[in-house]
Structure 1
């Protein structure tokens, strides 16, 4: 077993004021490895912004600005976090949820048809929406 000692004893973290946390379960049980870069970024932001019940109320434009992502990236990340049962969103408020106990990491599957491309490829979906608005 590895003996762990702080490297800089004078800089040991202390909980002062508000405090955010992510349980080790998040890393050990595959949640971390099952999220893409934007999902991790948004999840970490929501954890840091949340109150003790996991609730926060930043607007999407403020979130995009702080995280350096565009609206499409934000929407995709938000929707994936909702689908993965990690957050709830009511249109105004976010809630970081307790981690689901029956979590099964998703395995990416090949997009093998035009129909699947239209349903699952973000770039194709974006292009379809822009095209339908007449902004090609």
Structure 2
């Protein structure tokens, strides 16, 4: 295994006081593989500007200017992200969605069975606590 050393130690990244991050599961779970370059650019922009709940509101003209896209490209990128279950949108609000509990994860039957058994156990424990 290679040891990692910064290429430029004077420019180490620090988590800023404002809130934003990019979840590594986007790459690890191949969530961006089905997205166009325009969709990936829109997603990065939305992640960077979103508040702690993933919410932001930028008008189409502003997004088109900032991302250098025409209206059709923006609309297609937005639809691509909605279909990929990465964002929700109700004009003018964008929401970057949690990757937890996504439609993509829900299609794994083994994971569904494991999650269901955990929920059943939790329900039984609560019932026992409520009715000793």
| Consecutive aligned runs of 4 or more in structure 1 exceeding 4 Å deviation | none
Deviation, 1:14, is 1.1
Distance in 2 between the 1:7 and 1:65 partners?
Answer: 33
Gaps of 5+ in 1: 105-136
Give the structure 2 partner of residue 28 of structure 1: 28
The 1:80/1:72 distance shift into structure 2, 3 A limit, reads same
Larger Rg computed on CA atoms: 2
CA contact (8 A) 2:31 2:84 kept: no
State which of 77, 100, 105 in structure 2 corresponds to 1:102.
105
Q: Give runs of aligned pairs for residues 94-133 of structure 1, distance below 5 A.
A: 94-99=94-99, 100=102, 102=105
Contact 2:35 2:84 in 1 (8 A): no
Secondary structure of 1:20's aligned partner: coil
Q: Which residue of 2 aligns with 1:120?
A: none
Q: TM-score, normalised on structure 1?
A: 0.71
Paired positions, count: 104
- Alpha-carbon offset, residue 82 of structure 1: 0.9
Cα deviation, 1:67-113, whole Å, max 9, x if unaligned, reads 00000001111111111111011111000001225278xxxxxxxxx
- Any stretches of 5+ residues in structure 2 without a counterpart? 108-132
SS of the aligned residue for 2:74 comes to helix
The Cα shift of 1:47 comes to 0.5
Give the match for residue 8 of structure 1. 8
Distance 2:6 2:39 in 1: 31
Higher helix residue share? 2
